[in-house]
Structure 1
Amino acid sequence: MVVVVVDVTMRYAFQRPLGWSYDLIGTYLMVCVFFFALSDTLHHHGHIAIDIFSPTLPRKLLHISLAVGYGLSALLLAMIAWQAWYRASAAWNANNLISVTVPWPTWPSYFMVVVGSALITLRCVLRTLTHAASFVTGRELADLPTLPITAVSESEHGV
């Protein structure tokens, strides 16, 4: 936000916009914000979830289905991290630069994808293991999201 505020101020107050702000934001900052927020969002159960049937499923079935889902997600995210590592190392070795006003190197944005994907992969592996352990032991070892509040409250709709 600081870069955007400075760019807007320079553009409209001094007619001298920052020529590199768009490239910095698009190449590095947006990638960083997106990929570094993935794992924390999963930790807080902030990703979109279809939980229509979860309250009605038997606990063991819920845990095994979540273990399978998180396991498959971990595999996919590990492939993304591995591919991003491959691209980051190739960009590093070739000294790739984007062709704009300021020739920024491309490897840092790939490296941010590696770190963010690796973190969410680890969190998915942890969830896979805890849900599998909950399935096997029958104890609630996994962190489940809270159920949504679906009842109409007194302050809602003037009731």
Structure 2
Amino acid sequence: MTENEAPSRAERAITGIENALATLAALALGAMLLVMVAEVVMRYILSAPLGWTVGFVQDYLMVAVFFLGLSYSYRTGAHVTIDFVYRRQGPRGRLAMALIGDVLSFALFALVFAAGVATTAHAWTLGEIPAPGGGALSWPVWTSHVFVPLGCGVLLLRLAATIAAHRSGPARADLEAGT
């Protein structure tokens, strides 16, 4: 982005939401560490395991870390990429590969988003709570499912903005200029 190109209001909003969700993901990661250390201390030093920690970590904290950090990871390039072929392409090939990758990612995460919304809505509508003895925590099930559509929804906004930028932004201008 050049100095003359100010981020749009939508771009700033998406970035702000991504940063907030990334902060929540980092807090969930820290909480995961603290909860597991507490469980180890309680289980192996005091011989009094807490019992709820594994369910809390797997149903809430791990899901939050992954899904709430998705869009931030994409925006900052913190995700895993294999760019062996990409680096060897010219501007037109790179633009095409980036656009195809973003469109395919959008399609995949749109499906995950839709499934997450359906699952969360179903659990909410039924007031689903694990049966006694069926789970370590008897919290409403939707409270763990909601991280999926939340994280995927923000990622879809980011992907849509990126696809629009590919079609009309600096990458397109560079391509048209022949650089």
TM-score under structure 1 normalisation? 0.79
Q: 1: CA distance between counterparts of 2:169 and 2:93?
A: 10
Q: Aligned ranges for residues 45-124 of structure 1 at < 5 Å? A: 45-98=77-130, 99-124=134-159
Q: Deviations over 1:77-136 (max 9, x none)?
A: 112111111110110111112322432321112110011111111111122111122488
Whether the aligned pair in 2 keeps the contact of 1:63 and 1:135 (CA below 8 Å) is no
**Candidates 131, 134, 159, aligned match of 2:166:** 131
Q: 2: CA distance between counterparts of 1:136 and 1:5?
A: 47
Q: 2: CA distance between counterparts of 1:57 and 1:4?
A: 46
Q: 1: CA distance between counterparts of 2:152 and 2:124?
A: 19
Which of the pair has more CA radius of gyration? 1
Residue identity matched to 1:89: A
Residue identity matched to 1:106: V
Whether the aligned pair in 2 keeps the contact of 1:84 and 1:114 (CA below 8 Å) is yes
Instruction: Identify unmatched segments of 5+ residues in structure 2.
Output: 1-32
Whether the aligned pair in 2 keeps the contact of 1:96 and 1:107 (CA below 8 Å) is yes
Residue identity matched to 1:9: V
Q: Is 2:39 aligned against 1:7?
A: yes
TM-score under structure 2 normalisation? 0.71
Residue identity matched to 2:43: R
Q: 2: CA distance between counterparts of 1:128 and 1:66?
A: 9
Instruction: Identify unmatched segments of 5+ residues in structure 1.
Output: 141-159
Residue identity matched to 1:30: M
- Give the aligned partner of residue 146 of structure 1: none
Relative to total residues, which structure has the larger helix share, 1 or 2?
Answer: 2
Q: 1:137 to 1:11 in 2, by over 3 A?
A: closer
Pairwise CA RMSD: 1.9
1:32 Cα deviation (Å)? 0.5
Aligned identity (percent) is 27
Whether the aligned pair in 2 keeps the contact of 1:60 and 1:135 (CA below 8 Å) is no
Whether the aligned pair in 2 keeps the contact of 1:35 and 1:116 (CA below 8 Å) is yes
Q: Deviations over 1:21-60 (max 9, x none)?
A: 1111111111001111211111121222221122331212
Residue identity matched to 2:105: S
